[in-house]
Amino acid sequence: MKRFQRRAKGNTASLDKGSRAGTNALSEPMRRYQSLLASRWQALPSRDQMALVLLSVFLLLLIGGYGGYSVHQAAKDSKANYQEQVADYFWLRAQASNIDMNVMNAADGESALPPANSINALLNESGINNAQVVAAGDAVQLSFNHASQAVISSALGKLKQQGWQFTQLSMQQDPANKSIQVNATVGS
């Protein structure tokens, strides 16, 4: 065991000497180069020394200024990109109510509701209850009464957003109870 320890100590001692020699080998040419530069610097007239110092300061400021400007520009572009993505995210969240879930389910492989059922569901979501919705071939006929023009407009707008086209639309207001009767035929 002592034999191995002596060998290990001997190896580390030789490594230390080698690393010192490597450090000296690299630092010696650097020292010579520095002394050469210092002697050449001292040989320059003071006017040239001042010009070189000013030129070095100017180049340092120019490079530093351009680097700072480019970093600032990259940060500004990144911030604008982030704000655009946040705006897109909130716009998509606002449009979530306009997504036709039946189309999404059909795209996922599930069977979509028949057109009459999807229109009836949309009218119920809009606040129009007891609507009469009947499929007539490729078209769908619907009829309902409601007291609010705003609710009716919203429901018809949602139908339009989902791709339904009105082939016939009639709206009449009942003079007695002021409710609006809507009769429409829509097709895709």
CA 120/CA 141 separation, integer angstroms: 11
Work out the mean pLDDT of the chain and round it to a whole number: 83
The token duo for 2 is 């002592």
CATH number at residue 177: 3.30.70.60
Query: Are 7 and 88 contained in the same domain?
Result: yes
Higher pLDDT, 183 or 96: 183
The predicted-structure confidence for 22-59, as pLDDT tens digits, reads as follows 567 778 899 999 999 999 999 999 999 999 999 999 99
Domain C-terminal end among 92, 121, 136? 92
141 and 182 inside one domain: yes
In a domain, 179, yes or no: yes
User: Whole domain around residue 8: which residue ranges?
Assistant: 2-92
Three-class DSSP category at 26: helix
The model's pLDDT over 9-21, given as tens digits with 9 standing for 90+, comes to 555 555 555 555 5
Average pLDDT for residues 95-105, to the nearest whole number?
Answer: 65
Averaged pLDDT, 126-148: 88
Q: Which residue has the tokens 């895709």?
A: 188
In a domain, 105, yes or no: no
Per the domain annotation, does 54 fall within a domain? yes
* Token code pair at residue 180: 């609006």
Q: Shortest CA distance to 183 belongs to which of 108, 172, 92, 174?
A: 172
Q: What pLDDT sits at residue 110? A: 47
Rounded to whole angstroms, what are the CA distances from 77 to 49, 69, 82? 42, 12, 9
The DSSP 8-state label assigned to residue 162 in this structure reads T
> Of 174 and 17, which is predicted with more confidence?
174
Q: How far is CA 80 from the centre of its chain?
A: 11
Q: Does 164 reside within a domain?
A: yes
pLDDT at 68 over 70: yes
Q: Which of 15-24, 63-72, 83-92, 133-142 has the lowest mean pLDDT?
A: 15-24
Residue 100 domain flag = no
pLDDT at 125 over 60: yes
88/118 same-domain check: no
Does residue 108 form part of some domain? no
Is position 98 within any domain? Answer: no
Q: Based on the fold, state whether residues 31 and 88 are members of the same structural domain.
A: yes
Residue 148 lies in a domain: yes
End-of-domain residue from the set 92, 126, 160: 92
Percent of the chain with pLDDT strictly greater than 70? 80
DSSP per-residue codes, 65-132: HHHHHHHHHHHHHHHHHHHHHHHHHHHHHHGGGGS-HHHHHHHTTSPPPPHHHHHHHHHHHHT--S-E
**Domain total in the chain:** 2
